[in-house]
Chains A and B, each alone.
Chain A
Amino acid sequence: DVKVTQSSRYLVKRTGEKVFLECVQDMDHENMFWYRQDPGLGLRLIYFSYDVKMKEKGDIPEGYSVSREKKERFSLILESASTNQTSMYLCASSSSGASTDTQYFGPGTRLTVL
């Protein structure tokens, strides 16, 4: 069974803290993605990566950075958390290749910034 895991289901942090969200996939996928999901706004892509040490900005990269040191792991970093980053964060992965490729999602991390 394919699997994408995220380090925490729920996280509470304070304004100004540095926050790390970890995502691991066991499918040897080349592509990995970080989204945030907010009511009424759907899924918005923050960053994605198509190879180790490679990253591309998504639609809303401001206030975030990412790290991909190993193929299976993709980390999202909030350098200085703010209350407007309170959200559900979803990680996904997909293989590189045809446009028919499915994205596989983790269960999500609900982050609250106080």
Chain B
Amino acid sequence: GNSVTQMEGPVTLSEEAFLTINCTYTATGYPSLFWYVQYPGEGLQLLLKATKADDKGSNKGFEATYRKETTSFHLEKGSVQVSDSAVYFCALKNGAAGNNRKLIWGLGTSLAVNP
């Protein structure tokens, strides 16, 4: 079946440090891959997505590349800010009909950025 595994947190970094949050997946076919972010006290919002192999999603300085050969979608940012402190979720969607309407979620990685 479909599954998503992401690195456990919490991750604690200093401002301007480089960030990587690992995400690997198991799926048949060609799923779409997503990163969502949840800021403190809020619901989730889409950060970026990629829909086919070698696609790079990017937003707010974050990037992730869809690597089919390694079944990975790692999230990176070159220089984090205190305002990036949040929980990050990796997810996949493998189709649009029936039960495939739902997203398959990783457990989330908490990031704390210190000034």
Contacts and interface: CB of A to CB of B under 8 A. Distances in A.
Interface of A: 4, 31, 33, 40-43, 45, 48, 50, 56, 58, 90, 92, 94, 96-108
Interface stretch (B17-25, B73-81, B91-99): B91-99
A99 B94 contact: yes
Interface string B88-114: 010001111001111101111000000
B43 A4 contact: yes
**Contact count band on B:** 20 to 34
Given A56-B99, A96-B96, A96-B101, A107 B89 contact: no
Nearest to B52: A100
A98 B96 contact: yes
22 contacts: A33-B102, A42-B89, A42-B105, A42-B108, A45-B102, A48-B101, A48-B102, A50-B101, A90-B44, A92-B43, A92-B44, A94-B101, A96-B96, A99-B32, A99-B95, A99-B96, A100-B93, A101-B96, A102-B49, A103-B46, A106-B43, A107-B41
B28 to A, nearest CB: 13
B43 A100 contact: no
Rank and list the top 9 A-B pairs by shortest CB-CB distance, nearest first: A105-B43, A42-B107, A105-B44, A100-B51, A99-B32, A43-B105, A102-B46, A107-B43, A99-B93
B45 interface: yes
A34 B34 CA distance: 19
